[in-house]
Amino acid sequence: MPRMKNLLLLTASLVLVLLGLEAATRLFFLPLPVVADPVLGYRRAPGMTLAYAQENDHPVRSTFNSRGFRGPDFAPQPQPGLLRVAVLGDSFVASEAVEEDRTFPRLAEARWNAAHSRPVEVLNCGVSGYSPVQEFLLLKDEVLAAKPDAVYLFFFPTNDIEDMAATTAMSRNKPFAALGPEGTVAFDFSFARGSRYQAKAAVTALRRQSALANLLYERLSPALTRGYQRRFHPEGGLPPYLTLATDRPDPAFLANYATAKALFRQAAALCRDRGIPFTLVLVDYDGVSPEAAAKLTALAPSFDPLWFEKDLQRAAARDGYGFLGLQSLFRDLYAAGGADYHWQHWNYAGQEAVARALAARMAVDLSPAPEGLAQGPAAGPGAGTETLLQPAKPGVQGVSP
């Protein structure tokens, strides 16, 4: 009996200590606002808040609406007379290092509404860590149902290319895609049946409930990803994605990039079928400043810091959708001197610059175009919609618009 009493006292003490640690942790750290998803891999948890304490000189809180996106809730369909724009992408779109009212979607919305009689609402559908595969699925299954009048998909080649395939991605707990022999696209959702995803889902659920568990995981995660960083982001050498901008491209990343471009074409076709302008926005990447470009060119003399912008502009013109390149925008801003536009992501000045560019592009896409003209200045003749379909394999699903 005394042994049982001592055991109960010890258990109660441990519980009280853990509760105290949890309460103390929540004073400066929050639970993880993420839920596991068997299609997308994960999504932001509706109604929860993220406290982002990196990059900025103070922590910034982001609250996620009932759909798991940053910003206020929005109606299933736009109100009469109200234009609606959807912006998709990864952490550059989520913009969690700055306050909500200073993110580029809010700033572009404010710029438009100050200059036009018909108001617009800009939906920030960016999710930190998402790949083009996840963004395409989100567009197809959810965003288009919100009836946007224009769609902008932001592409960040630094990690978006590596996240296309399990062999190059840091995390395998997400969907992937690949091109088939005839240029068809197939999605691979087999991650959701694996033990690794089931374990990750359990850990995610614990981190969502406990700030202490989330803090411990965050402190361990850099050690877990160190080998990946050394392989795909080496010091003193070109990362594999940048080899595409040289005369010696990495074959695996070249294949991933081809799949990404096929998904952009497919996304544009989905929007075109609904009469919605689609614009691909290229996020600036390594080599954006003259000094950074010079260092990369010293490593690989054939390196072209504008290669992705040139290639994607040609693809947009060929396949009949809009294009906005931010690499040349920021290159010109840095060449002019006098300001910095980045921490790791865009800082406040960078958000302003992107907002100006997006608002200008919105003026092109949301203004009635004369009959017979292609969409936007970067678009070429409307290309015929391809059917991207191949027989499904175990864990692999073909897609057709």
Q: Which residues of the chain have pLDDT under 50?
A: 370-375, 377, 379-401
Return the axis-axis angle of helices 2-25 and 211-224, rounded to nearest 10°: 70
How far is residue 377's CA from residue 324's CA, in Å, rounded to a whole number? 9
pLDDT of residue 223: 64
Q: Do 162 and 241 touch, CB atoms closer than 8 A?
A: yes
Listing from the earlier edge strand, what are the strands of the sheet with 396-398? 176-179, 185-188, 396-398
Which residues does residue 322 pair with via DSSP β-bridges, in sequence order? 279
Closest CA to 346 of 287, 282, 293, 284: 284
Catalogue all structural domains in the chain, each as residue range(s) with its CATH number: 31-398 (3.40.50.1110)
pLDDT of residue 231: 62
How many CB atoms are closer than 10 A to CB 278? Answer: 29
- DSSP secondary structure letter of residue 166: T
pLDDT of residue 395: 38
C-alpha dist (Å) from residue 25 to 16, 207, 219: 14, 13, 13
How far is residue 326's CA from residue 336's CA, in Å, rounded to a whole number? 15
Spatial CB neighbours of 344, under 8 Å, sequence gap ≥ 6: 54, 55, 97
Q: CA 102, 105, 111 angle in degrees (round to 5)?
A: 80
Which residues does residue 325 pair with via DSSP β-bridges, in sequence order? 282
